Structure 1
Amino acid sequence: MSQRILVLGASGYIGQHLVRALSQQGHRVLATARRTDRLRKLGLANVSCHSLDLNGPERLPALLAGVDTVYYLVHGMGEGGDFIAHERQVALNVRDALRQVPVSELIFLSSLQAPAHQRSDHLRARQLTAETLREAGVPVTELRAGIIVGAGSAAFEVMRDMVYNLPVLTPPRWVRSRTTPIALENLLHYLVALLDHPATGHRIFEAAGPQILSYQQQFERFMAVSGKRRPLIPLPLPTRWISAWFLSVITSVPPSTAKALIQGLKHDLLADDAGLRALIPQPLITFDDAVRRTLKDEERLAHSSDWGYDAQAFARWRPEYGYFAKQAGYTVRTSASPRALWRVINRLGGREGYFFGNVLWKTRAAMDRLVGHRLAKGRPAGELLQVGDAVDSWKVIVVEPEKQLTLLFGMKAPGLGRLSFTLEDKGSYRQLDVRAWWHPHGMPGLFYWLLMIPAHLFIFRGMARRIAALAEQRTEE
């Protein structure tokens, strides 16, 4: 039977897949997140997207009106700082809203738990969230899972990036810890099928794949499936020695997320899924098959709204490019009008050049010419850029007037990149973000990115400030 469902945290990789699955089942879905642009562009049937920041959830009670089931997919690993306090506060806000407007059930996707004295901050935060949500006065189904094998899963992407980007794998001693990895497809089936088995009280299920594997075995199986052979030499180093800096270099997973995740891998995390399998039987996908499916899914990542569904970007995509991109940029607040900002941004490549550090841009172009890579020059004569236009070596791939302009990187480098100018109207001010996104091609791509980081941080800050200043002048005029 069709339900009215509210998904909290719908913009995450699990959330996007779950919203699509619920839509296909004919449910009416309210998808909420701080940013819902990508979800909106999917145009899913029976799905309405709502911007919602759970740190200030004044709008949440109104969204809960008439809802049957809430999915809670929110986590604070990517927040940095004291994410335990952040997760607790968000859970308290949702609890209070549910006390005002109760629903039939809340389904919370959580993590497998180690013994209390062995829990990392991430695992403690998940447990604290569950306890807080159970105070809301509505039945809570807590579904605990360990490693999820799917495109966008932080645990999977860390493994994938290490294998593709390092010539030798030297993980610390946690590589011998065991877990029960589950395929994303199996997890989604459990999440959706729980709607057919409503809860009358609080309950906890654990989800697992068909195998118990150590992280070393997962690395070895991943290498066998992907064809990337790497020496794997575990080092007897404590987990805390894995610094955020090292993770930010090797993997494109957000450093705070990767660090919080890895610190939860020190001990065995084994699921007892007998109760869940009895309630919702399904064929379980092996780790090897799950990896094959995930790598196949990642081959299509460039065919998305992020890349403007551009055929050239899709043709240049490589298996080595993962779900997450390296990124560097700068965000500035300005009093300029959206129209003025948009007009200035569209002057890119003209008399203003690149607004800041034009000597550095010319130096980078000269490096291409030295290796025999010929670059186009100039830009269209029109005032506003259109999809398909060339601006020097860049190609315009996304144009959303007064919202976003994105260009495809065309210089010679080991990877695939884009440059985005994003505008947000915040009412009393506008926010301009200038940001480069980079998918490195193995170790050479990582070295290139590290080499360019100082210039990127300097240039993008200057670009954002210069654009804002020019737009403010235009607004005043």
Structure 2
Amino acid sequence: MTPQKKILVIGATGYVGSHLVPNLLALGYQVVASSRSIETLKHHSWYSHPNITLAEVDLKDEGNLYDLLEGVSEVFYLVHGMASGPDFYQYELNMARHVSNQIAKSQVSRLIYLGATQPNNVTSTHLAARKVTGNILRDCGKQVIELRASIIIGSGSAAFEVMRDIVSHLPVITTPVWVRSKSSPIALYTMVGYLTKLIEVPIEGSPVFDVSGPEVMSYEDQMRRFARIINKRIFIIKIPLLTPKISSMWLTLVTTVPKSIASALIDGLRYDLLPSGKDISTLIPVPQLGFEKAVESALSNECDVVKNDIWGFDPDAIARWHRNYGYYPKHAGFTVETDATAESLWSNIQKVGGDEGYFFGNWLWRIRAYMDAAIGGNALNKRRPQRISLQAGDYIDSWKVIHCVPNEHLSLLFGMKAPGLGRLEFTVINLGETRLVDIRAWWHPAGFRGLLYWFVMMPAHIFIFKGMAFALAKKSGAKKTLPSHHT
């Protein structure tokens, strides 16, 4: 191994990239981790490692990547555009062209791209985008190694999380006939192993490899076996009339996976996603995990969801996390743009709770506190620190401060009794002449009850957070406050 090698990971905050980066660091490589947001990179435990460089890069901008690629020998391309909405196909292709053009002018010797299994006669926009992205990247003139995988079993993998949510949230599952489609799911542990070893393995040309697990199984079989792992009985009823479009609308209600990603993903799950080309395992021997062991491995690391800077590495949040909680959080909030100063806004944010109340709708907050007290909660207890300024570890009524950056951000751990884990955030972003103020709740639901709780509370959340944002700005001396389109 050559420890001095410099590796660029494009998509370092994704579910594969965030596990690949610490592996590369452990092997002694210099790693450049890129994301659209430096703050998102800082949420990971490895962000302060001495061998890492954090880079904020938005690939939709046609900016020069020369500084990012300087000294880099290998690049991992692990991004997709499904979260960008229905126009993600062109978005993905534009990103790939930009990266391909920039790498062509660099000293990079090898690009490793994680794509998707390609069945015949595909009409799935998601799978088509993955294929064309690989073709575009190969135009860079460098060596490009493409790995094509179907379903990856790991926390954060959209296909895995959709399955987990469906099984965890519903006792009776109505599904379209695509649940009979087959794939060969692979453990995240194995996938990261292949990617890591590809840095040093000598390979000729720009080959495409299939990456698969040790078993071929239907999506229905995966759901049934997952249910047995978590000791849950499920009943599956297949309904032919459930089209992909109807399925994606239905999934919005039962899964925590973002709607745009779930919709694009469902379109691809209609097909048998089976390997048909050269198997990477013939070149690189990496231990394979069966389905049950892959799932157990994913679930054993579940508390990593809250072992990060977003939750302030708070021990209460970590202790309360349960592996049956939704991986992706639901969220609701409201953002305004105001001319109130950041200092004035922050001064008032720190007064939240206690006798001051919550800026708006205090009677609703009071009703919720009584509801909590009725089932044994302590939300009626008024608590605040003696000092004016807040810091991590302080208690405000039933909330706990888990993250606090003066004039910028306050995050409170939800302390009332409810089926799930949540937090309330106040964020101030300075735009120069004006400030953005965002008040937002984040919620990891505990099964069906947790989802039901979220949707029941949704109207109140929308009403309250809008009122809170305007009231906070007014209390902070704002002369002008408008709803923001920067949400």
Q: Could you tell me how far apart the structure 1 residues matched to 2:473 and 2:202 are?
A: 52
**8 A Cα contact 1:105 1:198, kept in partner:** no
* RMSD, aligned α-carbons: 2.1
- Correspondence for 1:252: 256
SS across alignment from 2:224: helix
Match of 1:312 among 316, 323, 341: 316
- Correspondence for 2:97: 92
Q: Give identity over the alignment, percent.
A: 46
Match of 1:419 among 396, 408, 424: 424
Match of 1:103 among 79, 100, 108: 108
Matched, 1:276 2:253: no
How many Å apart are 1:404 and its aligned residue? 2.2
Q: Could you tell me how far apart the structure 2 residues matched to 1:193 and 1:401 are?
A: 43
**8 A Cα contact 1:20 1:44, kept in partner:** no
How many Å apart are 1:30 and its aligned residue? 0.9
- Correspondence for 1:455: 460
Match of 1:47 among 40, 49, 52: 52
Match of 2:220 among 203, 216, 220: 216
TM-score by length of 2: 0.92
Matched, 1:384 2:398: no
- Correspondence for 1:122: 126
1:98-139 Cα shifts (integer Å, max 9, x gaps): 233341111111111121x32301011111211221222222
- Correspondence for 2:484: none
Amino acid across the alignment from 1:36: I
Amino acid across the alignment from 1:401: P
CA 1:422–1:59 in structure 2 vs 1: closer, same or farther (change >3 Å)?
farther
CA 1:93–1:264 in structure 2 vs 1: closer, same or farther (change >3 Å)?
same
CA 1:427–1:186 in structure 2 vs 1: closer, same or farther (change >3 Å)?
farther
Amino acid across the alignment from 1:410: G
CA 1:425–1:102 in structure 2 vs 1: closer, same or farther (change >3 Å)?
farther
CA 1:382–1:50 in structure 2 vs 1: closer, same or farther (change >3 Å)?
same
How many Å apart are 1:361 and its aligned residue? 1.4
Matched, 1:65 2:70: yes
- Correspondence for 1:396: 401
1:273-300 Cα shifts (integer Å, max 9, x gaps): 6541121112211111101111111145
Matched, 1:322 2:326: yes
- Correspondence for 1:28: 30
Amino acid across the alignment from 1:283: P
**8 A Cα contact 2:211 2:279, kept in partner:** no
Amino acid across the alignment from 2:11: G
How many Å apart are 1:96 and its aligned residue? 2.4
**8 A Cα contact 2:338 2:478, kept in partner:** no
1:144-169 Cα shifts (integer Å, max 9, x gaps): 11100001111111111111110112
- Correspondence for 1:201: 205
Which residues in structure 2 correspond to 1:231-246 (within 5 Å)?
Answer: 231-246=235-250
CA 1:352–1:150 in structure 2 vs 1: closer, same or farther (change >3 Å)?
same
SS across alignment from 1:249: helix
Match of 2:6 among 4, 7, 11: 4
Amino acid across the alignment from 1:453: M
Which residues in structure 2 correspond to 1:75-86 (within 5 Å)?
Answer: 75-86=80-91
Q: Could you tell me how far apart the structure 2 residues matched to 1:354 and 1:241 are?
A: 40
**8 A Cα contact 1:327 1:437, kept in partner:** yes
Q: Could you tell me how far apart the structure 2 residues matched to 1:132 and 1:195 are?
A: 21
CA 1:100–1:241 in structure 2 vs 1: closer, same or farther (change >3 Å)?
closer
- Correspondence for 1:14: 16
Q: Could you tell me how far apart the structure 1 residues matched to 2:64 and 2:95 are?
A: 14
- Correspondence for 1:170: 174
**8 A Cα contact 1:146 1:208, kept in partner:** yes
- Correspondence for 2:373: 369
Q: Which has the larger displacement, 447-456 or 230-239?
A: 230-239
Q: Which has the larger displacement, 357-366 or 180-189?
A: 357-366
CA 1:67–1:80 in structure 2 vs 1: closer, same or farther (change >3 Å)?
same
Amino acid across the alignment from 2:28: G
CA 1:465–1:20 in structure 2 vs 1: closer, same or farther (change >3 Å)?
farther
Amino acid across the alignment from 1:20: P
SS across alignment from 2:301: helix
- Correspondence for 2:362: 358
**8 A Cα contact 1:406 1:418, kept in partner:** yes
1:400-429 Cα shifts (integer Å, max 9, x gaps): 233321111111212211111233345565
**8 A Cα contact 2:8 2:34, kept in partner:** yes
Number of residue pairs the alignment of both structures matches: 474
How many Å apart are 1:377 and its aligned residue? 1.1
SS across alignment from 1:438: strand
Q: Which runs of 5+ in 1 are unaligned?
A: none
**8 A Cα contact 2:210 2:275, kept in partner:** yes
Amino acid across the alignment from 2:17: G
Q: Could you tell me how far apart the structure 2 residues matched to 1:22 and 1:93 are?
A: 25
1:350-373 Cα shifts (integer Å, max 9, x gaps): 565212222221221222234453
CA 1:279–1:434 in structure 2 vs 1: closer, same or farther (change >3 Å)?
same
Q: Could you tell me how far apart the structure 2 residues matched to 1:52 and 1:428 are?
A: 25
CA 1:12–1:432 in structure 2 vs 1: closer, same or farther (change >3 Å)?
farther
